[in-house]
Amino acid sequence: MPQAAKRPRPTVDQELLREQRRPAPKPPSEEGQVRVLARGLSILRAFTPRNEWLSNLEIAAKTSLPRPTVSRLTTNLTGLGYLTYSTSTGKYRLGTSVLTLGFSALASLDIRVLARPLLQRLADQEDTLTVLASRDDMAMVCNEVCHSSKGLITLRVNVGSRLVLPYSAMGLALLGAMAPHERERALQEISARFKKNWRDLRRLIEAAMAQYQATGFCTTIETLESGTNGIGVVVDTPGAPHSFTLGLAGPSFRFPAARLEREIGPKLLAIGRDLESRVAKLMPAAGNPE
Amino acid sequence: MTRQELASPPVASEVDSLQRGLQILRSFRNGEKSLRLADIVARTKIPRQTAQKLLNTLTAHHFLRHLPELDRYEPDVSCFVLGHALLASLTILRVSRPAMQALAGELGVHVFLAVREGMDMMIVEYCSARGEVAEFSVGSLLPLAQTAAGRAWLWAQKPAVQGDYVERIRGEGDADAMSAVPGIYRAFQDLAERGYCLSLGERTQDLQGIAVPLPPAGGREVFTLTALASEQKLKDSVFRGKVASGLLDAAARIKRELPRAEEA
């Protein structure tokens, strides 16, 4: 194979599968934390992203917790209503009560709600797909997804979809926005998790960091799915810097690199600034008693 | 086959820390973006120092995010992925959505699907009437005793369970709860005679609900389907009849399609 040949690129779905097979990341240092709560939270997280039925043994394998600890905690979580238990299979899954765990506060008036009309307008204008995403470990989780109402593009990205962080334009933009020491730590994690592809990945990330410095956005050319290009920018909200990203993805023949850089990049940045000012207006002022 | 292994008995203090940590997450109510430590202490009655440690743990696991400039906490991405994992696994949502959207579009009513959560009904899917602002969202709680959604849920339970709940509602002792009991029995009568119940004139808001119970999904929970419209609109008996028959049709359609979808 000649050196210049395009190397096969992993598709989103393959990467998703790979991500799911990967062992759970090491839990954060437990210093100053409440251990039983930390473990309970890890068990709840073991059911994401699909809420499949899991036995205590399977949960133990996913969380790296001792089996007796897992059975004790699944019993407690079932008693509290956050897990349901199937007597016929001896397996657990999340119960509807997990929606009371902060979800409704999230689902209400916040950046997601504010972003929706702005993203929808762009999706319609460009007849493609736009996304608001935030980081979860090595994935960018889609919080809002707007498809063009003309419905010509059918990328399989929905709310809750996970894009592999270092291959997504939004993930790269997030790395670009990090403070140097923070980025250093993230890159170490990436190199450990993507050992096999690290050489290529490093080149990709270095180029993306240079692009971010120069322009404030990152573009990706067929990194997640062949035939699809993407672009991402970071949204900074007061008190929660670089927690959210905005992205646009579309077919590479309609969104070649030059068009993304010249036309779409400035548009996406403008939407990001607009969103930042809207969020800032809603934030309670520091020191305000209520 | 081996005998099923019994889990070791729970340790009291452990249950407590787990429950308290999750109670902190529950104290973020609908529509509130962030809370201060003092708010959380006031709501949960957890001692300040303990609450701080629990908050550190929730933050380390990305269930909460600390906003240092404001010294406030807000729900973070783990709450989001947990909620979405649950929603994605509820087959009944996928089956109900088209029928709900059609109803909301045709009759200009808000339509929601709810399930019991403690003494409340929790919304798991919401379609707002075309062009109108959503009144509630997924995760919103409505009191079981006072709403059509809750009464339809109660009606679908076994008599012993119904009795328990009516006792608990009476036991709450406040005037609202007491006055709800006759409404519950009236709703039962409507459900028996017509298949749906109403909560006309019993809510302070001007929106009123008409609700029908859905068959238990996978042999488990009973969900209820509710249409919301303004009290004034629902006073018109022709309109009310249209909404009621639309709901009953939607419920029949969901009942028909659910078993097949659950197998798939």
Reduced to 3 states, what is the DSSP secondary structure of residue B74? strand
Last residue of a domain, one of A66, A97, A128: A97
Indicate if the pLDDT at residue B3 is higher than 50.
Answer: no
For residue A134, how far is the Cα from the chain centroid?
5
> Where does B12-80 sit in CATH, by number?
1.10.10.10
CATH code for position A49: 1.10.10.10
Interchain pair A96, B124: CB under 8 A: yes
Please give the pLDDT value at position B41: 95
- Domain assignment present for residue A197? The answer is yes
The predicted model gives A205-221 an average pLDDT of 95
User: Given pLDDT bands bounded at 50, 70 and 90, which one contains residue B13?
Assistant: low
Of A135, A176, A139, nearest to A18 by C-alpha is A139
Of B242, B215, B233, B234, nearest to B96 by C-alpha is B215
Same domain assignment for residues A80 and A122: no
Please give the pLDDT value at position B258: 87
Report the 3 state secondary structure along A30-77.
CCCCCHHHHHHHHHHHCCCCCCCCECHHHHHHHHCCCHHHHHHHHHHH
- Average of per-residue pLDDT values in chain B: 85
Residue B238, min C-alpha distance to chain A (Å): 34
Task: Give the strand pairing for B110-117 and B72-75.
Answer: unpaired
pTM exceeding the 0.80 threshold for the entire prediction? no
- Domain assignment present for residue A185? The answer is yes
Cβ-nearest to A102 among B14, B60, B75: B75
Interchain pair B5, A71: CB under 8 A: yes
Q: Token digits for A74?
A: 């699944």
Cβ-nearest to A109 among B10, B31, B70: B31
Please give the pLDDT value at position B199: 83
Contacts of residue B217, defined as CB under 8 A and 6 or more positions apart, other chains included, come to B90, B91, B92, B223, B258, B262
Same domain assignment for residues A108 and A224: yes
Same domain assignment for residues A196 and A235: yes
Between A29 and A217, where is the model more confident? A217
Interior/surface letters A208-235, b for 16+ CB within 10 angstroms, e for the rest: bbebbeebbbbbbeebbbeebbbbbbbb
Same domain assignment for residues A190 and A265: yes
Indicate if the pLDDT at residue A2 is higher than 50.
Answer: no
Please give the pLDDT value at position B263: 77
Quote the percentage of chain A above a pLDDT of 90.
58
Residue of A nearest to B219 (CA): A86
What range does the domain containing A31 cover?
25-97
Q: Is B11 on the interface with A (CB under 8 A)?
A: yes
The predicted model gives A73-96 an average pLDDT of 94
Which residue type does A179 have? A
Which chain B residues touch A33 with a CB distance below 8 Å?
A: 53, 56-57, 60
- Domain assignment present for residue A1? The answer is no
Same domain assignment for residues A180 and A53: no
- Domain assignment present for residue A130? The answer is yes
Residue A161, min C-alpha distance to chain B (Å): 10
User: Given pLDDT bands bounded at 50, 70 and 90, which one contains residue A110?
Assistant: low
d(CA B163, CA A6): 70
Same domain assignment for residues A144 and A176: yes
User: Given pLDDT bands bounded at 50, 70 and 90, which one contains residue A107?
Assistant: low
Asked whether the beta carbons of B4 and A90 are under 8 A apart, the reply is yes
The sign of the torsion formed by the CA atoms of A242, B81, A193, A221 equals: negative
Interchain pair A105, B140: CB under 8 A: no
Of B224, B228, B213, B252, nearest to B113 by C-alpha is B224
Residue of A nearest to B50 (CA): A34
d(CA B149, CA B121): 7
Indicate if the pLDDT at residue A109 is higher than 60.
Answer: no
Number of domains in chain A: 2
Asked whether the beta carbons of B98 and B92 are under 8 A apart, the reply is no
d(CA B52, CA B37): 7
User: Given pLDDT bands bounded at 50, 70 and 90, which one contains residue B105?
Assistant: confident
Interchain pair B70, A238: CB under 8 A: yes
User: Given pLDDT bands bounded at 50, 70 and 90, which one contains residue B1?
Assistant: very low
HSE toward the beta carbon, residue A167, CA cutoff 13 A:
24
Q: What are the CA-CA distances from residue B85 to residues A287, B216, B235 (Å)?
A: 36, 20, 40
Which chain A residues touch B3 with a CB distance below 8 Å?
A: none
Q: For B132-149, write each residue's pLDDT tens digit.
A: 767 788 888 898 998 999
SS3 percent helix, strand, coil of chain A, rounded to 5, is 50, 20, 30
Q: Does the B90-263 domain belong in CATH 3.30.450.40?
A: yes
Same domain assignment for residues A263 and A142: yes
The end-to-end CA distance of chain B, in Å, is: 28
Residue A206, min C-alpha distance to chain B (Å): 27
Q: Is B12 on the interface with A (CB under 8 A)?
A: no
* Residue B35 CB-density burial (10 A; 0-12 exposed, 13-18 middle, 19+ buried): buried
d(CA A196, CA B40): 45
User: Given pLDDT bands bounded at 50, 70 and 90, which one contains residue A18?
Assistant: very low
Contacts of residue B12, defined as CB under 8 A and 6 or more positions apart, other chains included, come to none
Q: For A232-268, write each residue's pLDDT tens digit.
A: 999 987 656 778 999 999 999 999 999 999 999 999 9
Same domain assignment for residues A149 and A247: yes
CATH code for position A129: 3.30.450.40
| Span of A157-171, A260-274, A275-289 with lowest mean pLDDT | A275-289
Q: Is B126 on the interface with A (CB under 8 A)?
A: no
Asked whether the beta carbons of A175 and A183 are under 8 A apart, the reply is yes
Same domain assignment for residues A135 and A260: yes
Same domain assignment for residues A148 and A193: yes
Q: For B15-42, write each residue's pLDDT tens digit.
A: 689 999 999 999 987 667 789 999 999 9
Cβ-nearest to B30 among A34, A104, A136: A104
Same domain assignment for residues A65 and A182: no
Which chain A residues touch B88 with a CB distance below 8 Å?
A: 49-51, 160
d(CA B87, CA B94): 9
Alpha helices, DSSP H, located in chain B:
12-26, 37-44, 48-60, 77-89, 91-107, 148-155, 159-172, 175-194, 231-235, 237-263
Q: Is B18 on the interface with A (CB under 8 A)?
A: yes
Interchain pair A238, B60: CB under 8 A: no
Integer-rounded Cα Rg, in Å, for chain B is 21
Same domain assignment for residues A90 and A114: no
Q: Which residue ranges make up each domain of chain B? A: 12-80, 90-263
Interchain pair A90, B17: CB under 8 A: no
User: Given pLDDT bands bounded at 50, 70 and 90, which one contains residue A29?
Assistant: low
Reduced to 3 states, what is the DSSP secondary structure of residue B208? strand
Give the number of beta-carbon pairs within 8 Å between A and B: 215
The predicted model gives B74-86 an average pLDDT of 86
Q: For B178-212, write each residue's pLDDT tens digit.
A: 778 889 999 999 999 999 998 865 554 678 899 99
The predicted model gives B160-180 an average pLDDT of 83
- Domain assignment present for residue A8? The answer is no
DSSP-assigned states of every residue in B78-141: HHHHHHHHHHHH-HHHHHHHHHHHHHHHHH--EEEEEEEETTEEEEEEEEPPTTS--S--TT-E
d(CA A193, CA A189): 6
Indicate if the pLDDT at residue B220 is higher than 90.
Answer: no
Interchain pair B75, A105: CB under 8 A: yes
Indicate if the pLDDT at residue B57 is higher than 50.
Answer: yes
User: Given pLDDT bands bounded at 50, 70 and 90, which one contains residue A152?
Assistant: low
Q: Is B77 on the interface with A (CB under 8 A)?
A: yes
Interchain pair A101, B62: CB under 8 A: no
Q: Token digits for A136?
A: 């979860």
Interface of B with A in 155-214 (CB under 8 A): none
